[in-house]
């Protein structure tokens, strides 16, 4: 699932891909959409997510294993997309806590814990 936050809404969607003889077609289905208040946006802005890299990979987990997280955020500070492959970051944990406050339980994001091993070489 993809979770997208704009200045006034949160959108949860799922992407599907279909193969045809000559192309690949991607279809996004919106599963949930809700308004977001200014306090939530301010809380998210204070996380300074624009300072994070775009991609994080956990070298302790095979690329074909683990959990994938894609977060796209559009706030007053601009647009930020972050991809994490089974990687823990405190700022992302805080972001997910803010997101989960806005969502019904069935769409809540399950994130890793601080104890996640990720310093393998």
Instruction: Kindly report the average pLDDT of the chain as a whole number.
Output: 88
Q: Model confidence over 5-36: pLDDT tens digits?
A: 887 899 999 988 888 888 888 888 999 999 99
Q: Which position has the token pair 């300074």? A: 48
Q: Model confidence over 76-87: pLDDT tens digits?
A: 667 888 999 999
Instruction: Please say if the pLDDT value at position 38 is more than 70.
Output: yes
Whether 13 contacts 29, CB under 8 Å: yes
CA atoms within 13 A on the CB side of 58: 20
Instruction: Please say if the pLDDT value at position 75 is more than 70.
Output: no
**Residue ranges of domains in the chain:** 2-107
Burial (CB count within 10 angstroms: exposed 0-12, middle 13-18, buried 19+), residue 12: buried
User: Dihedrals φ, ψ of 82, to 5°?
Assistant: -130, 135
pLDDT of residue 26: 86
d(C-alpha 89, C-alpha 113), whole Å:
9
């Amino acid at each position: 699932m993809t979770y997208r936050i704009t200045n006034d809404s949160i959108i949860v969607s799922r992407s599907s891909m279909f193969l045809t003889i000559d192309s690949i077609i991607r279809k996004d289905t919106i599963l949930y959409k809700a308004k977001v208040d200014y306090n939530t946006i301010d809380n998210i802005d204070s996380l300074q997510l624009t300072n994070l890299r775009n991609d994080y990979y956990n070298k302790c987990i095979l690329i074909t294993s683990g959990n994938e997280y894609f977060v796209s955020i559009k706030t007053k500070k601009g647009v930020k997309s972050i991809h994490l492959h089974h990687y823990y970051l405190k700022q992302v944990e805080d972001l997910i806590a803010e997101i989960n406050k806005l969502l019904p339980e069935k769409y809540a994001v399950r994130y890793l814990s601080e104890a996640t091993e990720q310093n393998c070489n």
